[in-house]
Amino acid sequence: MDRWVQSACVLCSNGCGCDIAVKDGRMVGVRGRAEDIVNHGRLGPKGLFGSWQAHRTDRLTQPLIRRHGVLVETDWDTAMSEVVHRSQELLAEFGSSSHGFYTSGQLFLEEYYTLGVIGKAGIGTPHMDGNTRLCTATAAAALKESFGSDGQPACHTDIDLCDALFLFGHNMAATQTVMWARVLDRLAGPDRPRVVVVDPRRTPVAESADVHLAPLPGTNQALMNGLVRAVIEHGWVDHDYVHRHTLGFDELKSTVEPYTPEHVAEICRVSPVDLLRAAEIFGTSQRVLSTVLQGFYQSHQATAASCQVNNLHLIRGLIGRPGSGVLQMNGQPTAQNTRETGANGDLPGFRNWDNEQHVQELARLWKVDPLTIPHWAPPTHAMQIWRYAEQGSIKFLWISATNPAVSLPELSRIRAILSKKDLFVVAQDGFPTETTELADVVLPAALWGEKQGTFTNLSRVVHLSEQAVEPPGEARSDLDIFLDYASRMGFRDRDGDPLIKWKDAEGAFDAWRECSRGRPCDYTELTYEKLRGGSGIAWGPERLYADGHFPTAADYCEDYGHDLLTGAQTTPTEYKAQRPDGRAFLKAAEYLPPHEQANATYPFLCTTGRSVYHFHTRTKTGRSPELRRAAPEPWVEMSPEDAAELGFGDGDVVLVESERGSVKVPVRIGRCRGGVVFLPFHYGYWDVEHDGHERAANELTLTEWDPVSKQPLFKLSAVRIRRA
Amino acid sequence: MHLATYLGLLHGSLRTLAGAFREVAKGHGEEPDVASTCQVLAKRLDGQVEKLGPIVERYGEHRESEPERLHAAEFEQTRSGGVGLLRDLQDLYALASFTDITWTVVGQAAQGLRDKELLDVVSSCEKDTARQLAWLKTRMKQSAPQALIASRE
Ligand code: SF4
């Protein structure tokens, strides 16, 4: 071992502080940083094994270009010239709306911000989003709807201080193991907090719960309305807080009125007694921490249900206090930065696209005409970007650091779009993937440890990740690739100077600090120097909204909000008429039965999710021997009763089929509630010989999304199962 | 009293609008958000029709003899492509505006009659109609630039 290099883990949104061990120019291990406020030195299996091992195996080391239908190796100049040539040609003929950018939740802040400026002020396209749409869009949407702006209210310390912990659709033991370890400390220690878990599966998290509610997939909103109703009904409301700091209580109250425990029990198939016990725990605890994740975000009425979690905290006044608050979780490690910098389409710095002043601010900062910056409608969300590409009006799609050919719903459709002749696809990645295979130009990218940059975790903690080693072959950092594109495209500001004025990560960070000045996510206090040594540092105070003042003022908020049932936007005039002025919104919506239902042909509901050993589409974790061995193959999990009825034993290979496609996997008899089956979504095709498209869970999922957050409904596919 | 004439008009146009939302849902299945939202709104329109029931029972309803200018049947042939979607949504917008103003007129009558029950019905249905219009506007604003500028279908 030659030296330790400071970093943080990028394999989930917890963002554990770590050091990378370097020997002879190679990464040879990691250790947790004891002084870090996030993980106190701990690392989980993915961090320990998935982070550093993959960087030397099986990488893309040279640009590739499609010639006569086949991808062949080429040099950077040829590859970039082709990208720029196609880009300019299409801009000249079809304008900026012919371009789409689909990025990730795994790059660094500096890369996102640079991409954001290129897209918004260089090209001027509204079609920018990332796979964060699949993991974290509802978190952002729910925070904006309730509080006026994105920004995580709570912090990790609240785990240590709460006396009740609610996990809504969040299998923390699988998704954020080190965070879960912190919870386990509490569960095994004195003053054990009471735990309530909402999950259709009996996960290890659910097993440790005092109350486990397992609603039928698609019925979260009914359950949440029932919880809110019970808290109101039993007089557990902090009326003084509600009066001073919120808007909309009367409407909330009348909306949830019909959701009696019996009514909810009928819709969700949960016990009314358990529902009341859960409500009582929420209503009578002094310090409540809630976390929300994909069980809510990727399901029916995602934003509405997640807003109800915010509502529970608001009506009890339990937010911004030690041990009390909400963590609308992120999935991917750097998703927060995609949202902050606007690489997901939003305007950078949590600015409001519908607020002319905010657009002017950016135009001044970037020295461009405000009309260049697309703000005539909300940014185009990912599912719509893919639809435009399918219809042929997007002709240039640049995909960075993500693998839509495994992670998007209804994969046969996605493969067809990526293969379209009139769509020019650039794919930038560290590994060959199911997506790069279908691209026209493939750009080899440096990964974590091979480049420098910062990222922000689920509790707003910013870490600096230093470069430990050189990238393999000719791979370059995503930042360098974007900068190269910008300079070849010749983007200029109003004075004729280059639009992008920075040349390295620190320069990009400083430009971003300026962009964030005065906004809710103000980074001006942070510098690379301050982030070196010690712990990661959060932007903003330890907890947001300690004073009950929310960023809802009309000239400051990030969004004017939506109707939760349809996604209809609130107009600026309507918004101002409510005079929110720092008060939070208690948003309400009735429950609607989901469109996709189990039926005679497809009698089961299939939900997809995560394994503790893998991250995303396994491009990294699948290349770590330990993790690969721990979970080598996909499976379908079902309840013992359902398996018995169908005559399946553990390990029997079955076909799981939906209207959209099918997969062939072994049965694992396990933790699902009756009528529900589970598939892990990580597995694709790069590591199997026969490419029959019978492995990825997303062969089955449907193209449908939440009306507000636009997050796809991965957790709700009607399927049938038969012996293969 | 001519209220019956307006109730007839309203009753008819609500049914027409519900049917039109259903047709658009069917015709634009490839835009899943349009399809599912139109279904949701159609269902709520059924609810409006239901709420109008007791009112109609009390005041009667009178169907105009002059030809109806707004037909759900016209939606059976939904258009295709980006511009087609835009036009179909715009037709829905026109129909929804018609029911919107009809509710307003009926609401005025309810004020004059001091009919508390009718006032409640009007206020809840007006809210729902505002929701239809707001969604249609949102969705059209979203698709207009791409349909009108970038698309070459
Ligand atoms: S909990 Fe997440 S960030 Fe921490 S080591 Fe595990 S994968 Fe990495």
Q: What are B4-31's pLDDT values in tens digits? A: 999 999 999 999 999 999 999 999 999 9
User: What is the predicted pLDDT for the residue at B70?
Assistant: 57
Q: Which residues share a beta bridge with A347?
A: A351
Q: Which residue has the higher pLDDT, A672 or B21?
A: B21
Residues A220 and A346 in one domain: no
Kindly tell me if the per-residue pLDDT of A423 is higher than 60: yes
Q: In a mutational test of the pocket of ligand 1, which residue from A7, A176, A334, A458 has the highest number of ligand atoms less than 8 Å from its CB?
A: A176
In a domain, A344, yes or no: yes
Supply A711's token pair: 């997050």
- The shortest CB-CB distance from A595 to any of B36, B82, B152 is to B36
Does A10 sit in the ligand 1 pocket, CB within 6 Å? no
Residues A318 and A341 in one domain: no
Please report, for the domain that includes residue B121, its CATH number: 1.20.1260
Q: Which residues share a beta bridge with A476?
A: A445
Average confidence (pLDDT) over B66-87? 73
Tell me if chain B has a CB within 8 Å of the CB of A95: yes
Tell me if chain A has a CB within 8 Å of the CB of B105: no
Nearest CA to ligand 1 atom 6: A44
Residues A621 and A646 in one domain: yes
Which pLDDT band, with edges at 50, 70 and 90, does A365 fall under? very high
Average confidence (pLDDT) over A14-21? 97
User: What is the predicted pLDDT for the residue at A623?
Assistant: 81
User: What is the predicted pLDDT for the residue at A625?
Assistant: 82
Kindly tell me if the per-residue pLDDT of B67 is higher than 70: no
Kindly tell me if the per-residue pLDDT of B64 is higher than 80: no
Put simply, the answer to whether A566 touches B134 (Cβ < 8 Å) is yes
Residue of A588, A570, A585 lying closest to A247 (CA atoms): A585
Residue range A288-312, pLDDT digits in tens: 999 999 999 999 999 999 999 999 9
Kindly tell me if the per-residue pLDDT of A490 is higher than 90: yes
User: What is the predicted pLDDT for the residue at A651?
Assistant: 93
Residue of A431, A435, A426, A427 lying closest to A447 (CA atoms): A431
* Size (chain A), residues: 724
Which pLDDT band, with edges at 50, 70 and 90, does A493 fall under? very high
User: What is the predicted pLDDT for the residue at B2?
Assistant: 85
Does A16 sit in the ligand 1 pocket, CB within 6 Å? yes
Kindly tell me if the per-residue pLDDT of A53 is higher than 90: no
Quickly tell me which residue has 């295979």 as its tokens: A437
Provide the residue range defining the domain that includes B101.
3-62+79-150
Return the HEC string of A266-281: HHHCCCHHHHHHHHHH
Q: Compute φ and ψ for A660, nearest 5 degrees.
A: -95, -25
Kindly tell me if the per-residue pLDDT of B72 is higher than 70: no
Question: What residues contact A575, with CB distance under 8 A and at least 6 apart?
Answer: A554, A557, A560, A561
Q: Compute φ and ψ for A155, nearest 5 degrees.
A: -140, 170
Kindly tell me if the per-residue pLDDT of B136 is higher than 80: yes
Q: Which residues share a beta bridge with A212?
A: A197
Give the 3-state secondary structure of residue A566: coil
Average confidence (pLDDT) over B85-110? 94
Kindly tell me if the per-residue pLDDT of B151 is higher than 80: no
Which pLDDT band, with edges at 50, 70 and 90, does A487 fall under? very high
Tell me if chain A has a CB within 8 Å of the CB of B19: no
User: What is the predicted pLDDT for the residue at A626?
Assistant: 83
Query: Order of strands, edge to edge, in the sheet holding A441-444?
Result: A70-73, A64-67, A441-444, A424-429, A396-400, A99-103, A128-130
Q: Compute φ and ψ for A3, nearest 5 degrees.
A: -160, 165
Put simply, the answer to whether A376 touches B141 (Cβ < 8 Å) is yes
The shortest C-alpha distance from B131 to chain A (Å) reads: 7
Q: Which residue has the higher pLDDT, A619 or B57?
A: B57
In a domain, A35, yes or no: no
Supply A705's token pair: 């999304």
In a domain, A5, yes or no: no
Put simply, the answer to whether A707 touches B151 (Cβ < 8 Å) is no
User: How many whole angstroms separate alpha carbon A283 and alpha carbon A235?
Assistant: 8
Tell me if chain B has a CB within 8 Å of the CB of A416: no
Kindly tell me if the per-residue pLDDT of A530 is higher than 80: yes
Instruction: Report CA A26 to chain centroid distance, whole Å.
Output: 30
In a domain, A27, yes or no: no
Kindly tell me if the per-residue pLDDT of A620 is higher than 80: no
Tell me if chain A has a CB within 8 Å of the CB of B137: yes
Please report, for the domain that includes residue A247, its CATH number: 3.40.228.10
User: What is the predicted pLDDT for the residue at A627?
Assistant: 82
Q: Compute φ and ψ for A177, nearest 5 degrees.
A: -65, -35
Does A7 sit in the ligand 1 pocket, CB within 6 Å? no
Provide the residue range defining the domain that includes A619.
604-723
Residues A130 and A141 in one domain: no
CA of A182 to the centre of ligand 1 (A): 12
In a domain, A544, yes or no: no
The shortest C-alpha distance from B138 to chain A (Å) reads: 6
In a domain, B51, yes or no: yes
Residue range A167-218, pLDDT digits in tens: 999 999 999 999 999 999 999 999 999 999 999 989 999 999 999 999 999 9
Q: Is B8 exposed, middle or buried (0-12, 13-18, 19+ CB in 10 A)?
A: middle
User: What is the predicted pLDDT for the residue at A61?
Assistant: 96
Put simply, the answer to whether A707 touches B152 (Cβ < 8 Å) is no
Kindly tell me if the per-residue pLDDT of A113 is higher than 90: yes
- The shortest CB-CB distance from A393 to any of B30, B134, B151 is to B151
Residues A120 and A190 in one domain: no
This complex has an ipTM of: 0.92
Distance set, CA B45 to CA A255, A625, B21, B49, B51 (Å): 18, 58, 9, 6, 10
Q: Which ligand 1 atom sits closest to the C-alpha of A39?
A: 4
CA of A180 to the centre of ligand 1 (A): 10
Residue range A205-261, pLDDT digits in tens: 999 999 999 999 999 999 999 999 999 999 999 999 999 999 999 999 999 999 999
Q: Which ligand 1 atom sits closest to the C-alpha of A11?
A: 7
Residues A497 and A613 in one domain: no
User: How many whole angstroms separate alpha carbon A354 and alpha carbon A378?
Assistant: 8
User: What is the predicted pLDDT for the residue at A80?
Assistant: 98
In a domain, B133, yes or no: yes
Q: Which ligand 1 atom sits closest to the C-alpha of A615?
A: 7
Give the 3-state secondary structure of residue A458: coil
Put simply, the answer to whether A568 touches B142 (Cβ < 8 Å) is no
N-terminal to C-terminal alpha carbon distance within chain A: 50
Outline where A601-655 has alpha helix (H).
625-630, 640-646
Residues A498 and A386 in one domain: yes
> Based on the structure, what is the number of domains in chain A?
3
Residues A221 and A177 in one domain: yes
Put simply, the answer to whether A394 touches B142 (Cβ < 8 Å) is no
Which pLDDT band, with edges at 50, 70 and 90, does B71 fall under? low
Residue range A429-464, pLDDT digits in tens: 999 999 999 999 999 999 999 999 999 999 999 999
User: What is the predicted pLDDT for the residue at B68?
Assistant: 56
Put simply, the answer to whether B150 touches A569 (Cβ < 8 Å) is no
Residues A160 and A258 in one domain: yes
Among A325-334, B21-30, B62-71, name the one with the lowest average pLDDT: B62-71
Kindly tell me if the per-residue pLDDT of B45 is higher than 70: yes
Residue range A677-699, pLDDT digits in tens: 998 888 888 888 776 888 888 98
Q: What letters, b where the CB count within 10 A reaches 16 and e where it falls short, cover A191-213?
A: eebbbbbbbbbbbebbebbbbbb
Average confidence (pLDDT) over A471-493? 97
Residues on chain B touching A592 (C-beta within 8 angstroms) = 40
For A92, which residue in chain B has the nearest alpha carbon?
B150
CB A47 within 8 A of CB A461: no
> Based on the structure, what is the number of domains in chain B?
1
> Chain B neighbours among A 583-622 (CB < 8 Å)?
592, 595
In a domain, B98, yes or no: yes
Q: Which residues share a beta bridge with A22?
A: A3, A27
The whole-chain average pLDDT of chain A stands at: 95
Does A46 sit in the ligand 1 pocket, CB within 6 Å? yes
Average confidence (pLDDT) over A62-87? 98
User: What is the predicted pLDDT for the residue at B119?
Assistant: 95
Nearest CA to ligand 1 atom 7: A11
In a domain, B68, yes or no: no
Supply A199's token pair: 């999950």
User: What is the predicted pLDDT for the residue at A109?
Assistant: 98
User: What is the predicted pLDDT for the residue at A631?
Assistant: 82
Put simply, the answer to whether A567 touches B135 (Cβ < 8 Å) is yes
Residue range A259-282, pLDDT digits in tens: 999 999 999 999 999 999 999 999
CB B135 within 8 A of CB B96: no
Kindly tell me if the per-residue pLDDT of A668 is higher than 60: yes
Kindly tell me if the per-residue pLDDT of B153 is higher than 70: no
- The shortest CB-CB distance from B131 to any of A98, A563, A571 is to A563
User: How many whole angstroms separate alpha carbon A486 and alpha carbon A123?
Assistant: 10
Proportion of chain A above pLDDT 90, given as a percent: 88
In a domain, B129, yes or no: yes
Tell me if chain A has a CB within 8 Å of the CB of B127: no
